[in-house]
Amino acid sequence: MSSAKVRHPVRSQSKNSLLSSPWMLLGVGLVLIVGGLLVYAVGGQGAPAPAAGPSLTVSEGFLPSLSGALEESDGQVRLVNFWATWCPPCRAELPDLVGYYHDHADDGFLLVGVNSQESAAQVSAFLTAQGLDFPVVLDRDGTQMAPYGISGLPSSFLIGPDGQILQQWTGMINRDTLERTVTPLLAQ
Output the tens digit of pLDDT for each of the chain's 188 residues: 555 555 544 444 444 444 455 555 455 444 445 444 333 333 433 333 333 333 333 334 455 567 666 666 668 899 999 999 999 999 999 999 999 999 999 999 999 999 999 998 899 999 999 999 999 989 888 888 888 888 899 999 999 988 888 999 999 999 999 999 999 999 76
> Would residue 136 count as lying in a domain?
yes
> Would residue 130 count as lying in a domain?
yes
The alpha-carbon radius of gyration of the chain (Å, integer) is 26
Q: Are residues 139 and 182 both part of a single domain?
A: yes
pTM metric for this prediction: 0.66
Expressed as residue numbers, the domain containing 16 is: 11-43
Q: Are residues 29 and 68 both part of a single domain?
A: no
CA atoms within a 13 Å half-sphere pointing along the CA-CB vector of 165: 9
> Would residue 48 count as lying in a domain?
no
8 Å CB contact between 150 and 82 = yes
> Would residue 3 count as lying in a domain?
no
Q: Are residues 98 and 134 both part of a single domain?
A: yes
Buried b (16+ CB within 10 A) or exposed e, 29-47: eeeeeeeeeeeeeeebeee
Please count the structural domains in the chain.
Answer: 2
Q: Are residues 38 and 100 both part of a single domain?
A: no
> Would residue 52 count as lying in a domain?
no
Q: Are residues 84 and 154 both part of a single domain?
A: yes
Q: Are residues 37 and 117 both part of a single domain?
A: no
